[in-house]
Structure 1
Amino acid sequence: MARKSKYEERSTRPRARLWKPALYVRLSREDGDREESDSIVSQRELLTEFAAAREDMVDPRLYTDDGCTGTDFDRPAFQRMLEELRAGKIDCVIVKDLSRFGRNYVGVGEYLERVFPMLNVRFISVNDQVDSFLDPRSMNNLVVPFKNIINDEYCRDISNKVRASLDLKRRQGKFIGSFASYGYRKAPDDHSRLLIDEPAAAVVRDIFDWFAGGMSVLGIAKRLNAAGVPNPAAYKRAQGMNYRHPAAEKLDGLWPDSSVRRILKNRLYTGTMVQGKNRIKSYKLHISEAVPEEEWIAVEKTHEAIIPSDLFERVQSLFERDTRTAPAKKEVYLFSGFLRCADCGRAMNRKQISQPYGDYHYYICSTFKKQHSGACTKHTIRSDRLEQAVLETLRHQIALAVEMDELIATINQSGARNRSVKHLVDERVQLETERSRIEQMKLSLYPDWKAGDISRDEYHRLKEQFEQRQAKLDARIISIQARIDEVQNGVDETNSFLSQFAKYRNLQKLTREAVVELIDMIYVHEGGSITIRFKFSDAYAAAKDYIQDHGQTA
């Protein structure tokens, strides 16, 4: 064989390629990498030494994603690296191991098998001994996809464990949010426990009181802004918290009506911890979705309440009504959401008539107003006359509550309650004795049938009769026990009817607050008469029965 010349040897020898490497470093605080406290430092040192030891690599660039999950590739440094790969500024990617590149099996495979080859990018995983240029077969080895699957499964497992742990804390009533809701602060010694933040809590109380008193949501927001009260986001930043919210940045500390509405609907202020309202779709798809209300995790009495439960419920009931705001005013109409036509059941519309001697308002059935087709009649009533009629009726009901309250106090102070309890206990014992006797008779039926003393049909007929008598006795015993509990506890100041009505005993002018708290609905009849359905009807009946049962013996 002829020997090659020096010229031929030089012309066939491959020139050494110089690579411009990207040293990619990632550390996640969500996928279980917390134990590697110095992971960023160790990865950087490992990759820097690796690139420095290679003569075919120049000008390495470092890309660091600290605190970014590997389940997706929406990471700042990774995306910047990708842009520079496409621009040709770098042409080699070096990572410590495949898990640092990513933990998404499909995504990692897409980059290693399609994107990088298309861009002529060299990929090196140091610890996995993968090099797409020096050892292309290492990329096609089954070990690579297998490790990617393991990395993906590891992240899924960690995600499930974290989610289960958080759900457990939610069910235990522990707060797991980053920032406490406005009005509260985290306890210094236990960040899962909430304490009242009094300056903000005072604002929360005002918001609930104003709304229950007739002020609109928008009116409350305007009042807070006029007083210079910072909105929740601005307040948190003023307290030194690193709180950021995209929408809040544009408000410059002002209250939007949405913030007021959100506070009014937050059950947290009653001492009930409500969490789990949103969830992440999956550990790979980091998109939050709303959770149906019936799946929320609510635990009562986990922290001190800012708002009483009855006030919160009144506020929620107002949201369910048609509460329209008076034009150019911050308050809703006095009867908004509380007026109905007595015949068709539709809401009454408020109208204004201007006369030379002044303006006056009246209400008219909305069905008649819209259709004029005989579907209903006007049912019209003047606003001032309606207000006076409601006020007089309320005063009468309040006077009745005060009188009943005094009667019940007299009964409770006398010996009538004790005598009544003894009578009820004796009656219950008699009923229980009778039930036991019937039970024994029922049990003796089967032996009588087997002995031939009674027929099969007689056995079933008598058994059914005994069971029916037992059911009636059981119902009576339960009723008697309920009466005993009621008498022993008394019907005193804790009775909702008495306490709610009695506190308005000095009512001189009808207010929105009194309407909201005491009235369920007002029905307007044709001709201008009204029917008022009050709240606490069950409590009123209980108080009335109590007086009737024990008043004679007092």
Structure 2
Amino acid sequence: MSRQSDNKITALYCRLSRDDELQGDSNSIVNQKAILSKYAKENGFKNTLFFVDDGYSGANFDRPSWNELVEKIENGEVATLIVKDMSRLGRDYLRVGLYTDVLFPEKGVRFIAISNGVDSAQQQENDFTPFLNIINEWYCRDTSKKIRAVMKSKGEAGEHLCTNPPYGYMKDPDNKKRWIVDEAAAEVVKRIFALCLEGYGPSQIARILKEDKVITPTIHFQRTDRATRNTPPDNPYNWTGDTIADILERPEYQGHTVNFKTYKQSYKSKKTCYNPKEKQLVFENTHEAIIDADTWELVQELRKNKRRPTRTGKTNLFSGIVRCADCGEKLYYCTSKNFEARQDHFVCSTSRLKGKEVCPTHFIRAVVLEQGVLAHMRLVIACVSTHEERFRKAMGAKQKAEAKKELAAKQRQLTQAERRIEELDRIFKRIYEDNANGKISDSRFQMLSDDYEQEQEELREKLLQLNEEIIQQEEQAENIDRFIDKVRKYLDLDELTPAVLNDMVKAVYVHTPDKSNEHREQQIDIL
């Protein structure tokens, strides 16, 4: 039977991501609510209040109801927090650990994860809780890899990976996978290239278009009922040099499809990075060109002379992997021959270039960063090596269960597509006979046959894609043993080296220091 202050609440927290929705009803909000309500009632918890975040990833902690719940916890309004399982709280084990091991105990909040048997009131039973957090984050990373594999398959087949065509093109109403020329926008694109050939730079071209009251791409998309993520500017003619430069550098205007131009460093990062050209795939003549090849090449030669920021050439232990958690840009490594080792530090490049009002400095001493990363790596290595068999079994079971669900779903889609293709064959045969017997006109027959043939072609493409995804799922190499093998290599890790960091760490994100409680605290995310 639970005990709690009469004026404090029992928080029942539910979370469902889009990935969870694909797995069926077991994790649905309705199911979570039923489990939590039953548990609270059977165990005598009073003053229950639901907090629900529907459609939010476990890797993202900026959720409306979660933020509201944390605020109530910090205000001392919560006696107990109950979730269906640890992954509902989140899949970032560092952040989850911050709540379960620091905030909840500090605020006297009892934490219960029903399916995992976690109850902070029974502390001796919770030794495995940090390990559950590691498993949940590992699962989140694994899911991200599967999604990337599907996108890789599409991209290598020459399909457009971007949701919307670039300015100057639009989707064919009769075939959404095909791009056709948007005549009004294409004329503006041609003008931009012509102005560049005349010697105008991006900022000058932007100024000319603004003066001539040419609407921006965002406004054009808005007026033609096309979705855009960009916020419409107050001035519909407010072209920028960056927009012009982006248009001048797009190979798509030659009629080519370019895939894998961008990537994200991890599933946690919102920062878009650009792949070098040698890692991009180009499929030529996939749609009508707006700019001819000669004009394109000449413009690119002219653009080569633009000024670029110079590199300092300075190297450091974290070169290329330490970034600002707010803006995503790299941190500058600041040192001098007059500095002692303890004086070397990192600061946000955005803050240094644009000022603290744009982004805080995120100042952190190099020695502090090194000590923090080393301590974190030792903790993970110790946890996995100590519970190696439990880690392997837990991850193996999770992978097997998820793979079974995904394969079943894909097999259902495959069967449905095959049945529809067979049905279309029968329909096509029937309308052919009706046309031959004079029951339908030639024009009607042609229209129907074109529609059915296009649907069949799309279904055949879907079949190829599904078969490839099923093969990838069935042949997916086990990543668990590779991860454990890496851990074994560093059981006696004493110091960080570039080789160790490159092997184990993808990125380090440094947050703004928190000085609110008279002590300087700084969060570091290590991927």
Asked if the contact 2:168/2:182 (under 8 Å) is kept, the reply is yes
Listed one character per residue, the Cα deviations across residues 85-132 of structure 1 (whole Å, up to 9, x for unaligned) are 111232322212112111223332332223211221111223333332
- What is the deviation of 1:45? 4.0
Q: Distance in 1 between matches of 2:112 and 2:174?
A: 47
Moved more, 252-261 or 219-228: 219-228
Counterpart in 2 of 1:26? 15
Q: Distance in 2 between matches of 1:82 and 1:274?
A: 44
- What is the deviation of 1:279? 1.7
Kindly tell me: are residues 187 and 117 of structure 1, through their superposed partners in 2, closer, same or farther at Cα, counting changes over 3 Å? farther
- What is the deviation of 1:234? 1.4
Q: How does 1:121-200 map to 2 (within 5 A)?
A: 121-133=109-121, 135-140=122-127, 142=128, 144-188=129-173, 191-200=176-185
Asked if the contact 2:12/2:48 (under 8 Å) is kept, the reply is no
Q: How does 1:34-53 map to 2 (within 5 A)?
A: 34-36=22-24, 39-51=28-40
Instruction: Confirm or deny that 1:310 pairs with 2:299.
Output: no
One-letter amino acid of the counterpart of residue 130, structure 1 = V
- What is the deviation of 1:190? 5.3
Q: How does 1:438-449 map to 2 (within 5 A)?
A: none
Kindly tell me: are residues 252 and 122 of structure 1, through their superposed partners in 2, closer, same or farther at Cα, counting changes over 3 Å? farther
| TM-score, normalisation: structure 2 | 0.52
Counterpart in 2 of 1:516? none
Q: Distance in 2 between matches of 1:241 and 1:88?
A: 47
Q: Distance in 2 between matches of 1:198 and 1:69?
A: 40
Q: Distance in 2 between matches of 1:216 and 1:280?
A: 30
Asked if the contact 1:176/1:192 (under 8 Å) is kept, the reply is no
Asked if the contact 2:5/2:79 (under 8 Å) is kept, the reply is no
Asked if the contact 2:209/2:237 (under 8 Å) is kept, the reply is no
One-letter amino acid of the counterpart of residue 16, structure 2 = L
| TM-score, normalisation: structure 1 | 0.49
Asked if the contact 1:21/1:91 (under 8 Å) is kept, the reply is yes
Q: Distance in 2 between matches of 1:238 and 1:49?
A: 51
Listed one character per residue, the Cα deviations across residues 62-82 of structure 1 (whole Å, up to 9, x for unaligned) are 333333221242334323321
Moved more, 228-237 or 277-286: 277-286
1:73 pairs, out of 61, 65, 83, with 61
Q: Distance in 2 between matches of 1:122 and 1:249?
A: 48
Give unmatched runs, 5+ long, in structure 2: 308-527
User: Which structure is larger by alpha-carbon Rg, 1 or 2?
Assistant: 1
Counterpart in 1 of 2:279? 295
- What is the deviation of 1:52? 5.2
Kindly tell me: are residues 190 and 70 of structure 1, through their superposed partners in 2, closer, same or farther at Cα, counting changes over 3 Å? farther
2:72 pairs, out of 74, 84, 93, with 84
SS in 2 for 1:94: strand
Counterpart in 2 of 1:225? 210
1:202 pairs, out of 187, 197, 208, with 187
One-letter amino acid of the counterpart of residue 61, structure 2 = F
Q: Distance in 1 between matches of 2:37 and 2:253?
A: 54
Identity %: 36
Listed one character per residue, the Cα deviations across residues 110-163 of structure 1 (whole Å, up to 9, x for unaligned) are 322232112211112233333323x344423x3x44543432232222111111
1:256 pairs, out of 230, 235, 240, with 240
Listed one character per residue, the Cα deviations across residues 477-515 of structure 1 (whole Å, up to 9, x for unaligned) are xxxxxxxxxxxxxxxxxxxxxxxxxxxxxxxxxxxxxxx
One-letter amino acid of the counterpart of residue 274, structure 2 = A
- What is the deviation of 1:176? 1.8
- What is the deviation of 1:219? 4.0
Counterpart in 2 of 1:56? 45
Instruction: Confirm or deny that 1:277 pairs with 2:261.
Output: yes
Give unmatched runs, 5+ long, in structure 1: 1-13, 324-554
RMSD (Å), alpha carbons: 3.0
One-letter amino acid of the counterpart of residue 84, structure 2 = K
Q: Distance in 1 between matches of 2:153 and 2:66?
A: 35
Q: Distance in 1 between matches of 2:245 and 2:4?
A: 68
- What is the deviation of 1:50? 4.0
Q: How does 1:233-244 map to 2 (within 5 A)?
A: 233-244=218-229
Q: Distance in 1 between matches of 2:64 and 2:235?
A: 28
One-letter amino acid of the counterpart of residue 289, structure 2 = A
Kindly tell me: are residues 190 and 116 of structure 1, through their superposed partners in 2, closer, same or farther at Cα, counting changes over 3 Å? farther
Listed one character per residue, the Cα deviations across residues 431-488 of structure 1 (whole Å, up to 9, x for unaligned) are xxxxxxxxxxxxxxxxxxxxxxxxxxxxxxxxxxxxxxxxxxxxxxxxxxxxxxxxxx
Listed one character per residue, the Cα deviations across residues 13-53 of structure 1 (whole Å, up to 9, x for unaligned) are x9764441222222222x56433378233323443454455
Asked if the contact 1:23/1:93 (under 8 Å) is kept, the reply is yes
Kindly tell me: are residues 196 and 288 of structure 1, through their superposed partners in 2, closer, same or farther at Cα, counting changes over 3 Å? same
Kindly tell me: are residues 269 and 36 of structure 1, through their superposed partners in 2, closer, same or farther at Cα, counting changes over 3 Å? same
Kindly tell me: are residues 272 and 32 of structure 1, through their superposed partners in 2, closer, same or farther at Cα, counting changes over 3 Å? farther
Q: Distance in 2 between matches of 1:171 and 1:192?
A: 15
Q: Distance in 2 between matches of 1:15 and 1:225?
A: 67
